[in-house]
Chain A
Amino acid sequence: DAGITQSPRHKVTETGTPVTLRCHQTENHRYMYWYRQDPGHGLRLIHYSYGVKDTDKGEVSDGYSVSRSKTEDFLLTLESATSSQTSVYFCAISGIADEQFFGPGTRLTVL
């Protein structure tokens, strides 16, 4: 299994509070991705990174920001959480091929 961890694994927060999710990899892969998974929508790309300090928006980036200061860490921040951001968030990594490897996920509930 690819060495990917996500923290926290579960979080409950209140509307309007900031939230940061962390993805950590031990594979030294260049590309890292944040997805959200919701019933009926499948996996949707939020943001991705193609190197340290190089990030770009995905399909559903509004309300989210990311940072990558080290190869191994990719942070996803919800500046002011809303109930519509209740979801399961997955981090993924890939090297030089198209294959992506996923982390275990973070279940976020915004009350």
Chain B
Amino acid sequence: DTEVTQTPKHLVMGMTNKKSLKCEQHMGHRAMYWYKQKAKKPPELMFVYSYEKLSINESVPSRFSPECPNSSLLNLHLHALQPEDSALYLCASSQALGDQGYTFGSGTRLTVV
């Protein structure tokens, strides 16, 4: 298995909702990443996990809460989001932090209404 799988592919949520994005890989990668991408912009790094521990938090608002329950799974919990949080949320993994061989998922298209 050489893929990063993200679910759901599309999500519409209200500003008072709580939802979660899921990312899964079975390549034995020990670094996992969340990126946010707005239209016509490059992906922006949000969080980095290395060996299931949060390594980097790019000053992301607390309404985004990451979780890495095991080496294959990465979640992003969403609560009280704003319409400007609507974006494509991308998950990626690599063998180790900063290592070559990053693999990206297809993303979750999030719309906050």
Decide if A and B are genuine partners: no
